[in-house]
Structures are given as C-alpha cells and as structure tokens.
Amino acid sequence: MPKENAGVTKHGSSLWKDARHRMAQNKFAIASLGVIVLMILCCFVFAWFCKDPNKVNLVNKFATPSGDHWFGTDALGRDLFARILYGGQVSILVGLIATAVSVAIGIVYGAVSGFAGGRIDAVMMRVVDTLLAIPFLVLVIVLQATLSTFSGDATNWIVENWGWNKELTGRLTNVVPLFFALGLFGWLTLSRIVRAQVLSIKEREFVEAAVALGYSKARILFRHVVPNVLGPTIVYSTLTVPGFIMYEAILSFLGLGVESPNSSWGVLIKEGANFLETEVQLLLLPGLFFSLTLFSLNFLGDGLRDALDVKASKD
C-alpha cells in the first residue's frame, strides 16, 4: 500500500468542518445552544428531584415564592416550579417528536419526488403546493379534533389488553394525537428542501456508479442518495421545532391539546391568564420559560442554517 501522505496531516476542509467553524463564531447561536441544553437538563433530569407537580394543597394556594416553593404555588396549591419543568417535558417532547414525524415523511416524500422526476415529480410537488396554501392551523385543528376523540378508546384498549396503569396510559393517549396532528401536515416545506437536494445529488458520479453497478432504484435512493441528504435536512428541521412547540401551546390554549392532569407550557399559560389581576407570576413565569426556549431554538436554527449555507462557503 503506497503511503504518499504519510506523516502529512493536511486535510481538505469539509462542509461540516467549515460549518462547525462558522457556528463557533456565532455567539448568539452558541449561547442559544447553551440555553437549550440547560432547559433540557432542567426539564428531563432536574425535574425528577422536584416536588410532585400534581400534589394539590388547597390550604397553601397562591403562595408567594419561598425556599420551599421556588416559584410559589398555583390556584390548587401545586408547586409552580415543578409544574413548569414537567410541562416543559410535554412541550419539548411534542416539538421533537412532531419534528421527527414530519422529517420522516418529508424525507421519503421529497426524495421520491426529486428522484423520480418528470410527471410524478410535478404531481407530487403540486400536491405540496396545494396543501401549503391551506392555513396549517386549520388543518391541524380539524385533524387534532378527530384524532383526540379516539384517546378514550385507545386508553381502555391498552389497559384491557396490555394491562398498563390507567392514569399513565391516559396521559400518554392525551399527548400522542398531538404528535401526529402536527407532524402529519408539518412536512410540506421540508419535503421541498429534500427534493431540491436530491435533484443536485442524483447527478453526482457516485449515483452514476451505482446505476452502472445495476442496483435497484429503491436501493440507490435510500442507500446512496438519502444518507447524503439526511444531515442538512435534520439541521433545517431545527427551525421547525419552535414552530411545533408554539402550535402545541395554541392548541392547548384553545382546549384542543394537552389536558389536566397533564401540563404543558401552553396549559400553564392558559391557567395563569385566569388569575392575572392578582397573581401575574402564574402567567409570566411559564411564559418566560416558553419564550426563552423558542427564542433559543430560533437563534440556533438560524445559526445552523447560516453555517451550513453552501453558497456562502469557500469562495
């Protein structure tokens, strides 16, 4: 084996290396990443060491913040800090899982559309255009209203057949419709992005080589083309997470989303708005966590997108 480059550590600057470098220079995006990591640690790790978010204590309602209750208590005497962290779990999970659902659909749809080309491509993209013209929230409300009517039946079925705990199952079946209501129509823009990338990748030499080797179309598409689209697509999808978190809050605010005893940031803001005159912190504190997370996710998504913008790299 000839070792021409032995001892020489000269590497070409890859797309990802460039992107990482640009990312490191974007202080807003790095700070946002820090906030997000901290928020996830709080909601998913620290929350386990908090008080029970559902423990009602009517003697101690609307308590002011103290060493015992860091953010005070709500109208039923429940610890607000614990409720915000547990609510964050639901909000963040909805954002992430709905994004995963929409990425899965968007990648398959966009990749097939771009790879097939011609008439199939034209029809598939026209379908996307048509669905994009309908207000997302209108579709989501109708879909969520339909899906959530099956929650009760699903709970009973799971409890009967699988013997799960009824309360926990009820919480799960309350949240799961949201993942699909948001994800099932959330893939439209993503599929366009995937398609555009597939269009450029399918002209590359390694795809030609795969064709020459006689591989099937499905194998070429999913083993050779899609893996090359995956990275940038997932980066782009960072920008859809805050959108989904916002839509979850909107649905919950309208009474179509997460229901008690589950909590989410949308539910907490809605509850807080009822006691605005006297207890403004019940609205402000969940709103602060919510907005801070959205703010950071947006900045991080913008930063990642700018960092990966191939057009701006290597002149």
Partner 1 sequence: MFRFLIGRLLQGLLVLFALYTITFFLAKAMPGEPFTSEKNVSAETKANIRKLYGLDRPIWEQYYVYPKNIITEGSFGVSTSKGRSVGDIIAQSFPNSLLLGLCALGFAVGIGVPIGVLSAVRRNSWVDWSCMAVAMVGICVPSFTIGPLLQIYFAAHVPGLKVAGWGNPQDVLLPAFTLGLVAAAYLARLTRGGILEVLSQDFVRTARAKGLSPAKVIIKHSLRGGLIPAVAYLGPAFAALISGSFIVETIFQVPGMGQHFVNAATTRDEFLLLGVSLFFGFLIVVMNLLADILTGLLDPRVRIAGQSD
38 is a site residue for partner 1 (CB under 8 A): no
287 is a site residue for partner 1 (CB under 8 A): yes
Segment contacting partner 1 by CB under 8 A, of 64-72, 114-122, 130-138, 213-221: 130-138
242 is a site residue for partner 1 (CB under 8 A): yes
200 is a site residue for partner 1 (CB under 8 A): no
Q: Taking the complex as a whole, how short is the minimal distance between the CB of residue 281 and partner 1, in angstroms?
A: 12
Question: Distance between CA 95 and CA 82 in Å, rounded?
Answer: 20
Q: Taking the complex as a whole, how short is the minimal distance between the CB of residue 157 and partner 1, in angstroms?
A: 13
Q: Taking the complex as a whole, how short is the minimal distance between the CB of residue 268 and partner 1, in angstroms?
A: 11
Segment 246-285, which members bind partner 1 (CB under 8 A)? 246, 249-250, 253-256, 266, 269-270, 273, 276-277, 280, 283-284
136 is a site residue for partner 1 (CB under 8 A): yes
Nearest to 76 by CA among 287, 300, 239, 282: 282
**Number of residues located near partner 1, criterion CB under 8 A:** 44
Tokens of 203: 């002209």
Amino acid of residue 204: R
Pick between residue 96 and residue 147 the one whose CB is nearest to partner 1: 147
25 is a site residue for partner 1 (CB under 8 A): no
Q: Taking the complex as a whole, how short is the minimal distance between the CB of residue 114 and partner 1, in angstroms?
A: 21
Pick between residue 160 and residue 205 the one whose CB is nearest to partner 1: 160
Decide if 101 contacts 180 (C-beta within 8 A).
Answer: yes
Pick between residue 56 and residue 147 the one whose CB is nearest to partner 1: 147
**Residue 107 vs residues 66, 89, 103, 171: alpha-carbon distances, Å:** 49, 26, 6, 30
290 is a site residue for partner 1 (CB under 8 A): yes
Decide if 132 contacts 217 (C-beta within 8 A).
Answer: no
User: Out of 139, 172, 176, 235, which residue is the one contacting partner 1 (CB under 8 A)?
Assistant: 139
Segment contacting partner 1 by CB under 8 A, of 5-13, 38-46, 142-150, 162-170: 142-150
Pick between residue 38 and residue 276 the one whose CB is nearest to partner 1: 276
Question: Distance between CA 167 and CA 48 in Å, rounded?
Answer: 18
User: Out of 153, 167, 208, 309, which residue is the one contacting partner 1 (CB under 8 A)?
Assistant: 153
In the shown chain, the binding pattern of residues 85 to 124 toward partner 1, with x for contact by CB under 8 A and - for none, equals: ----------------------------------------
User: Out of 13, 25, 146, 216, which residue is the one contacting partner 1 (CB under 8 A)?
Assistant: 146
Question: Distance between CA 59 and CA 56 in Å, rounded?
Answer: 9
141 is a site residue for partner 1 (CB under 8 A): yes
Backbone angles phi, psi at 73, to 5 degrees: -125, 165
**Residues at the interface with partner 1 (CB under 8 A):** 126, 129-131, 133-139, 141-146, 149-150, 153, 242, 246, 249-250, 253-256, 266, 269-270, 273, 276-277, 280, 283-284, 287, 290-291, 294-295, 298-299
